[in-house]
Amino acid sequence: MAIITTMILPLQKGVLYGPINSRRLGKSLGINIMPFHYKLCSFNCVYCHYGLTDVLTLTMTKHLRDLPKSTEVLDDVERAMRSNNTFDYITFSGNGEPTLHPYFGDIVRGVMEVRNKYRAGVKIALLSNSTGLKFEEVRKVLTLIDLPVFKLDAGNSTLFKKINRPAIDVNFDEIVTMLRQVEGIYIQTVIMDGNPSNVGEDALDTYFERLAVIKPVEAHIYSLDRPVPNTNIKKVFPERLEEIAKHGLEKIGITIRPFYLQ
By C-beta, is 53 or 91 nearer to ligand SF4?
Answer: 53
d(CA 213, CA 174): 13
The least CB distance from residue 43 to ligand SF4, in Å, is 4
| 33 Ramachandran zone, left/alpha/beta (phi>0; psi -120 to 50) | alpha
Residues with Cβ within 8 Å of residue 260, at least 6 apart in sequence: 23, 222, 223, 225, 237, 238, 241
The least CB distance from residue 259 to ligand SF4, in Å, is 15
Any contact of residue 196 with ligand SF4 (CB under 6 A)? no
**Binding pattern to ligand SF4, positions 17-56, x when CB under 6 A?**
------------------------x-xxx--x-x--x---
Element (DSSP H or E) covering residue 206: helix 201-214
Distances (CA, A) of 24 to 14, 27, 61, 130, 179: 23, 9, 34, 19, 21
Element (DSSP H or E) covering residue 65: none
Helices (H), 44-199: 70-82, 104-118, 136-141, 157-164, 172-180
Residues with Cβ within 8 Å of residue 157, at least 6 apart in sequence: 171, 172, 173
Site size for ligand SF4 (CB under 6 A) = 10
The least CB distance from residue 121 to ligand SF4, in Å, is 28
Any contact of residue 138 with ligand SF4 (CB under 6 A)? no
The least CB distance from residue 33 to ligand SF4, in Å, is 12
**Binding pattern to ligand SF4, positions 71-110, x when CB under 6 A?**
-------------------------xx-------------
The least CB distance from residue 47 to ligand SF4, in Å, is 7
By C-beta, is 103 or 160 nearer to ligand SF4?
Answer: 160
Residues in contact with ligand SF4 by CB under 6 A are: 41, 43-45, 48, 50, 53, 96-97, 129
